[in-house]
Structure 1
Amino acid sequence: MTATKQDIRKFDAEQLKTWLTQHGEQGFRAKQIHEWLWKRAAGSFDEMTNLSQKTRQMLAEHFEIRPMTVAVSQRSADGTIKSSFRLHDGNLIEGVLIPAFKPNDLSAGTESDARMTACVSSQVGCSLTCKFCATGYMDRKRNLEASEIYDQVVTIDRQAKEAYGTGLTNIVYMGMGEPLLNYANVMESVEHITSPNGLGMSAKRITVSTAGIAKMIKKLGDDNVKFNLALSLHAANDVKRNQIMPINESNSLPALADALNYFYRKTGTRVTFEYIVFYNFNDSLQDAKELWQFTKKVPAKVNIIEYNPISEASFKNTDPQTLDKFAGFLEDRGVTVNIRRSRGKDIDAACGQLAGKQ
């Protein structure tokens, strides 16, 4: 019986209404069910207490709410919490809660002011084979459903409230997978997260990160998205970027600059360039100059990111003095620069380390 049940969260409110009326139920129940699924994150039909027992039983006979469970959670010394999530089909993904303070910084006056960020995955594995990223050494098994992305947000929000007494303030699509290669489900998940009929978060608190799919960046512009966009750049010349990000061979820097400018004209939202500084690869002043020149082509700010070593690759993080010189070069030329220190490194929860390990 279970195999024939449909995933109820693949039905929108109108489709639910049609199904209900065809089965002798009143159409307005669809709105109630939709609210239980996306506003209250119900995990079972029994929770839907404003529906009759008969209606709940009928729903349970025909539909299922596919579960996502926490397989393992680890807490870092800096307060970061990484979770391995088991999906209904047995696949594993990872998501991370990143608090903006260390545990010993907590006091009665700081918890409510803390920035709480959920880093969520969009695919099981990844197909892009970026050489510095643990997920890039996995196969892409499948795209995540919108509901599976949504469930990560709900679960990590619950973890934030339990651990720190405050809910999520921000969401970044920077976990496993390439969000723009799962475009429809990512967009639907954002809708459920931001809608007044869903979780009601502000789109401006969401950032979607891409390795650089030019035609899909343009589609974001055409869809006039309200969330923020980040480009994993990591090298501002095509030769170096090709070496570490094979996607660049079909989405070159000139093509990306064109797409990002299109996105900016359509949305008015400045892009963020993410730039990991690798020792003796992309950390010279010449590299900084190339990055500065690229920022002149696209309205952007720059996040400089510490590299987090993985066993599959031999890259190293640059030294602090070189990093400071690199950032200083950009700042002296008017570039907005933010140096992002790694969080959760001790539990493999930092940027580039997610690999769906059990």
Structure 2
Amino acid sequence: MKQDIRKQTVPQLTDWLKQHGEQGFRAKQIHEWLWKKSAQSFEQMSNLSVQTRALLAEHFEIRSLSVHQEQRSNDGTIKSSFQLYDGNLVEGVLIPALRHDDQDRMTACVSSQVGCSLTCKFCATGYMDRKRNLDAAEIYDQVVAIDRQAKQNYDVPLSNIVYMGMGEPLLNYKNVLESVDRITSPTGLGMSPKRITVSTAGIAKMIRQLGDDQVKFNLALSLHAANDTKRDTIMPINESNTLEALGDALSYFYQKTGTRITFEYILFYNFNDTLQDAQELWRFTKRVPAKVNIIEYNPIAEANFKSTDPQTLDKFAGYLDSKGVIVNVRRSRGKDIDAACGQLAGKEKGTVKQTV
């Protein structure tokens, strides 16, 4: 089997080229083609000789993903099913801005695993098995593909990236951080790390590791309940990563990075939407500088949760606001094509649904 050339470092590639009678400086040119210009074939590497390209093609391959299916929502959201080199499917989403004054905001939601090992009861991916982690190049390729969609459909490049697709990013720690490096490096896509948010269901040990690594990107915690009994019910990961442990880890992360945390909170009808729940959330936000994103629940076939009613949502958000909490209410996007938060499942469909 040919080697995946994107797993080669520049020094490794330099040595390999020299061993095969090629000039070592070509390694940097190849690296630029792979990570800055996002080449998907050796034929695209036009400043290499035909012989060099043939040599590379003989020994290496570029395991690029491809767009398997694409669906467009009524609100302009585009969901893509991406096929990986081994046939597995993951999903990614392009979310264009809705507000007239923010039309240059284009957000890519990317996946980090095929499936997920966590079993959050409200999330479609949580009902799948985790087949494997994505490598850094596969995450990078999603960003490239979604950026291409943004330019083709809206004539605007990506402005933001959220690791909120399929999988738990902090259980694929090495590859997620390497993908961020490829996306933000001047020798890669050159995006600002402040435009990137990594979302976790809450792995305390790895949140601390993010602090030790002094990452520059933003961190979001999928909280959804601020007492252990309720959170245990909907997010079994909380049994081994309690709110106390998470609070300590987040404080450590903030101490190391100075980056404010985002808490994501889905309001489920008659479960976590009372004023008492709001009070518990407010108390938890006092652990660390933070803001709260209240998210509309997006129904899935596997679960019986319902989204809370608008009046209860307003009271909940109003309470947090009265306590000085920065709170944003996020409306769901791409619901009609199962592209909204919690709905990604990577299921192959017989036909591509286009809704415009």
TM range (shorter): over 0.9
The amino acid across from 1:253 in the alignment is: L
Residue 31 of structure 1: aligned partner: 28
Query: TM-score with structure 2 length normalisation?
Result: 0.97
Query: TM-score with structure 1 length normalisation?
Result: 0.96
Percent of residue pairs identical? 78
Q: Distance in 2 between matches of 1:233 and 1:341?
A: 17
Q: Distance in 1 between matches of 2:209 and 2:76?
A: 37
Q: Distance in 2 between matches of 1:174 and 1:51?
A: 38
Task: Look up the SS of the partner of 1:313 in the other structure.
Answer: coil
One of 297, 310, 314 as aligned partner of 2:304: 314
Task: Look up the SS of the partner of 2:250 in the other structure.
Answer: helix
One of 45, 59, 62 as aligned partner of 1:62: 59
One of 94, 97, 101 as aligned partner of 1:100: 97
Residue 155 of structure 1: aligned partner: 145
Structure 2, unaligned runs of 5 or more: 349-356
Residue 341 of structure 1: aligned partner: 331
TM-aligned CA deviation for residue 285 of structure 1? 0.2
Q: Distance in 1 between matches of 2:50 and 2:252?
A: 52
Q: Distance in 1 between matches of 2:80 and 2:339?
A: 9
Q: Distance in 2 between matches of 1:305 and 1:237?
A: 18
The superposition leaves residues 63-102 of structure 1 with CA deviations (integer Å, 9 ceiling, x where unpaired) of 0001211111000000000000011100000000000127
One of 1, 23, 48 as aligned partner of 2:45: 48
The superposition leaves residues 255-303 of structure 1 with CA deviations (integer Å, 9 ceiling, x where unpaired) of 0000000000000001000000000000000000000000011211100
Stretches (4+) displaced over 4 A: none
Residue 76 of structure 1: aligned partner: 73
Q: Distance in 2 between matches of 1:114 and 1:154?
A: 17
Structure 1, unaligned runs of 5 or more: none
Task: Look up the SS of the partner of 2:315 in the other structure.
Answer: helix
Residue 9 of structure 2: aligned partner: 12
Q: Distance in 2 between matches of 1:273 and 1:18?
A: 46
Q: In the alignment, is residue 258 of structure 1 matched against residue 248 of structure 2? A: yes
Q: In the alignment, is residue 273 of structure 1 matched against residue 263 of structure 2? A: yes
The correspondence of residues 202-281 of structure 1 with structure 2, limited to 5 A, is 202-281=192-271
The RMSD of aligned alpha carbons is: 0.9
Task: Look up the SS of the partner of 1:71 in the other structure.
Answer: strand
Q: Distance in 2 between matches of 1:297 and 1:228?
A: 17
Q: Is the contact made by 1:101 and 1:114 (CA closer than 8 Å) also made in structure 2?
A: no
Residue 355 of structure 1: aligned partner: 345
Q: Distance in 1 between matches of 2:3 and 2:75?
A: 42
Residue 85 of structure 1: aligned partner: 82
Q: Distance in 2 between matches of 1:14 and 1:172?
A: 31
Q: Distance in 2 between matches of 1:271 and 1:87?
A: 32
Task: Look up the SS of the partner of 1:70 in the other structure.
Answer: strand
Residue 122 of structure 1: aligned partner: 112
The amino acid across from 2:316 in the alignment is: F
Q: Distance in 2 between matches of 1:196 and 1:259?
A: 31
TM-aligned CA deviation for residue 24 of structure 1? 1.4
TM-aligned CA deviation for residue 114 of structure 1? 2.3
Residue 196 of structure 1: aligned partner: 186
Residue 164 of structure 2: aligned partner: 174
TM-aligned CA deviation for residue 357 of structure 1? 1.5
More displaced stretch, 10-19 vs 119-128: 10-19
TM-aligned CA deviation for residue 153 of structure 1? 0.2
Q: Distance in 1 between matches of 2:243 and 2:15?
A: 47
Q: In the alignment, is residue 184 of structure 1 matched against residue 181 of structure 2? A: no
The amino acid across from 1:206 in the alignment is: I
TM-aligned CA deviation for residue 19 of structure 1? 1.2
Task: Look up the SS of the partner of 1:56 in the other structure.
Answer: helix
Task: Look up the SS of the partner of 1:117 in the other structure.
Answer: strand
